[in-house]
Every structure is written in C-alpha cells, then in structure tokens.
Chains A and B, each alone.
Chain A
Amino acid sequence: MTLPLASTVGPSAYWYLTRSTGTTALILLTLSLVLGVIDVQRYTSPRMPRFVVDGMHRTVSLLAVVFLVVHILTAALDSFASVPLTDAIVPFVGSYRPFWLGLGAASFDLMLAVVITSLVRRRLGYRAWRATHWLAYASWPIALLHTLGTGSDVKSGWMIAISGGCLAAVLFAVVVRVAAGWPRQVGVRGTALGLAVFFAAGVALWLPSGPLGAGWARRSGTPSSLLRPATNKHPG
C-alpha cells in the first residue's frame, strides 16, 4: 500500500527517505567499525574512558540498525522499484537490480547475526560471541558494494565523497588493527591486510567503468520497464 505521497511518475518521499537513510546507515556502520577497532585497541584517555568508547560502539551499532530498518521499510513502501520486504533478508531473489540489492540483504543478514549475538552474548559465552562478531568485517564491504551498485546517487560528487571517506576510514582502521598484531598468525594478518587493500583498489578501479559509467542502470539489472528510453538518467 502506498501513501498519497507517491505519484505514478516521479519520485515519492519514500524514495528520498530510503536513499538518505541508506547513506546515513553506511556512515553509521563505518563509525561503528572504527569505534569497534578503537575499543579493541584499548585506546583510552581521561576524556574518553574505555567504557565510553565501548558504550558508543554499541549505541552507534544499534542506531545503524534502526536506520537500516527504516531504509528497508521505505524501500518496500516506495512504489517505484517494487522491492518486497523479503528481498531485504533473502538475498538475490528480487527483480530490481537483484545482485546489487541482494548484497544489501546479505550485509543486513550478517549484521543481524552480529547484533543479535551481541544482545545475547552472556548466554552465548565469550568465545562464541567473539567468533561471530568478526562477521562485521565481512558485512561492511558488502554494504559498500551494495551502496555503489544500487544507489542512485552514486554519480553525485557528495556520494562519492561519502563513500570514499567511509572506505578510507575502514581501511585505516583495518591497517591499525593488523599493525597492532591481530590476527595472531602473521600469514592471516598479511592476508587480511592484502584483502583490505585489494578491495579498496578494486572499488576505485571499478567505479569509472561500473556505477559511474554509462548505462549502469541497465547493466546492474534495473527492470527494463523502469528504464527511461534513450537517456541514461535514472529517476531522481
């Protein structure tokens, strides 16, 4: 059911909401990851005691989930792209840019695993909780690819700046973590660092010919009924 805010042609309020909450969620997730690294690196100062960093990490993570829920609900409510609610949790089954949207669902699933295990961590036990928490490192890059592949604002300068900033922040956090000697085995550490750098370089190289290139809407799997003929502009 759509509210009268929508019109059959042109963007609805939901369209704007889903994009803005999605972008905010990306920023919050980035912040959560950076805070998580600050937390585990045991950085402390009189103004930022450890319990504050820890508390902020938890709060920002929950806030990110809230924004994501709004992002998903508004995407489902918006009439343009017909993204049913299930597409948010079951990846790759939708009709709108199935792969790129599906990445969002995959990332959200991983995030739910991290958040839910954290909420019941006492019952889970420390070791099991720690192991599942590492999924956060997998969830973030998938979220970024979803943003770049699905997001309709990707070509705007501000979106590139935000994405670039988030990527730089996460890369920096990973470098700090690895440099501090985690994971313990040197081989795994090298692999982690390599993957992170590889990912960042890969995204940078892919962008011009990918989302920033011509005809991305069609190439990424937007249903042809939604594509505007003869131009490359997508709605909004």
Chain B
Amino acid sequence: MSVSAPPATLPRLLAGMSGDGPLPLSRHLEIHGSLPAFARRRGDSALALVNELERSGLRGRGGAGFPTATKVTAVAAARGRAIVVANGCEGEPASLKDRLLLERVPHLVIDGALVAAHAVEATDVLLAVDESATRAVRAVDRALGELTRGGPHVQLVTVPAGYVTGQESAVLNSLAGGPPKPMAMAAPIYRRGLRGRPTLVSNVETLAHIALIARHGGAWFRALGAPGAPGSTLVTVGGAVAYPGVFEIETGTTVASLVEAAGGATAEVRAFLIGGYAGTWVPADLGYQLALSPEGLYEAGASLGSGVVFALPSSACAATEIAFIARWLSGQSAGQCGPCVHGLDAVATALEQVRGGAAGEGALARIGRWAALANGRGACTHPDGAARFVTSALDVFAAELADHARRGTCSACAQRHLLPTPTAPARRAA
C-alpha cells in the first residue's frame, strides 16, 4: 500500500503545488507516496493494473476522451515490444493544463508513463514536449535526472510547436524524424505506431491520473466526479473571470461553480466556449448551468475537449473574435488535405468579409455549408474541430453576425481580440 493516505477530496493532481517551480522527487514522494510494488513488476501485475484502470473508468484527457483501460489493453495485446509516448504537446492556445503539469509536477507525469509502460510491457518511454515550452522542458529534464536507473528507457524529446502537431499521428511523425504533420495510418497506432511497434500515446494529464490510480486504486479515483466519466480533471478558465488559469475540478462540476472558483465573472458574459478552438460555443444562460462531464455537455452538443472554458463578455465583438480564430485555424492546417486547406480558408475569408460588411447575400449560409463540408474530410480532426467552432458560432452569434453583414464594423471591432493565440497570448478581460 502507499505511504500516504489517499486524498479524500481535491486537489489530487495539483496537490502540493507551490509557486516555486517543479516539485522535486523527495517532495513528490512525500505528498503521494512511492509507487506500490505491484506496479513495478511485470506479468500479472500488469493485468492487475489494467483492472484498476478499468475499475476507475478513467477517460483520456487529451481531448478525445477515449476509455484509457481499453487503449492500454489493446496495446498490451498487440504483437511486438510496445512503446509509450507521453503527449505533452499542448497545441491548444487557450489551454494551459499540460504545460502546468509538466512544469510543476513532472514526477507525477513520469510516474504515470512508467506505470503505463509496465502495463503494456513497453521497453521505451518517450516524453514529447513542445520545444517552445522551455520551462516545461527544463523541469522534465531535471526530473528525469533525479530518477534512479532501472526500468524502461525514458527519453525527453522536443517537438515543433503548432496546433495540429499534438495530434497523435503528428507526434509520432515528429518522433520518427518526419514533419510534425498528421499521417494517414495504414494500421491503428495501438498495433503499429512508432517504428512499426504497438504504441500507447497518452496525454500527460491522463498519465498523471494513472500515477495516482496505481497508488490509490480505481475505486478511489471514481469516488469523485460524475458516474459516467469519473474522477478529477484539469480545466483552463479564461476570458471575463477574475482569476483565469488552471483549475482541478470534479467531473460534473457546473460552469457556474467553476466561474465562482475563478473569482466570478468580471463582466456580463455573452457566451462560453467549451473545449477550445475545436469546441463549441454555448450562450451564457445555457452555459452557466452545464455540468462539465460528457453526459452533461452532450445535450448542448459540446464536449470538454482539451478542458478549456472561455467566457466571452458582451463587450467583446463576437464577429471579430470568430473571424480572427477562424483565420488562425485555417493557418494552422498542415496543408495536406484539400477540403481542409480550401474549406477553412473560404470560411475565414467569408467571416472576415462578414465582419467588415463586405460579404454578399447569403454569406452566412455559405459559411455554414463550407464548414459542414470540411467536417470529416481530412486526415485528422482539425477541419472537424474548426467546423464545430464555426458552426456553433453561427448559431450562437447569429444576431451579431447578421448585424455585421448588414452594417460592417462595430464600435467594439477596434478592440484587441480576447481569444488567445501563441503570438497573442491570453490577458485579462477589461
């Protein structure tokens, strides 16, 4: 059994975090205890671990929400020496959680990767981190230096920054020395991934949860949160709130509670963006009541995605924000698939024209059609996400967009946009 008692409530992942940089190994072991012996040996300890994962109901925290136990089982069952890839490439500009984990609690992530490696009997573990996340890279490097020898070979690999570079096959492409672009995979990654070997690609937050499940068990994990997709999860709150940043919540927490935890709204909120730039816009009155879990969000056509909750104030110009991000998303295309390259560009151009009042008749209908066309017609889900972002925006901001189409730029258009991008990162709303 673990040395320290399992935490009854939050925080779990963010336990012991201080303002002074990464938790060193000693402090990490003080807070969480060491990994129990069963997780360090292979064979049926691997099976026991998979059972705990299944009991926990953990779902991936990288955006897809795939049941982790299923993924791990598939990789373990595949033929060949497995590889574990910890995906710390947080391409979503509005999300800060993965960076935070790597900068402050790198040992939790490394633990999780090692546990996962034992579960699938992997001999190699690769930690893929954005090369622009210099603090995270330094923290992980230092943490790896603190480890004792033995066990699978763990390696830190930096990968070019970018929105689609964090996609599973794009990460593998980078790790294999290729461009950071998604690939058309002939076989599923869990069977033939990196170097033709079964590969488990897992988001760093997912691995952090695995590290704690290995210590405290699956039942402990699901003691918090919504029954269908239990546990705690990290969300990045942004926009018109007093204290934007990363929060650890129980799944199923309402947006209203989350906003309160973030110090309350600083202005009247017009709408919430749930899930990041591949996510969904929801009008404020509906948004506040939403429970942040798959079931809770399903009705609103949304999903937690990369865990972003952004509050757009009424004072912002929705048309400007939407057009700006649509153009950014178009620019982030890997440029490999026609429907994405052309469709996203057409959508962005039309939205810019709508914003400026230069769009022709039926522009909004055209945008909707192009967005729907881009959906599902690419090698990765980038066009799908952009389509969802735009389609939900057309719905929620119908009035503002129609107004702009008729009358052109508004008084709020000149304001600097609020939705962050890597070159124009988040700042507090007015």
Direct contact between A and B judged by beta carbons closer than 8 A: no
Which A residues lie at the B interface, using CB under 8 A?
none
Which B residues lie at the A interface, using CB under 8 A?
none
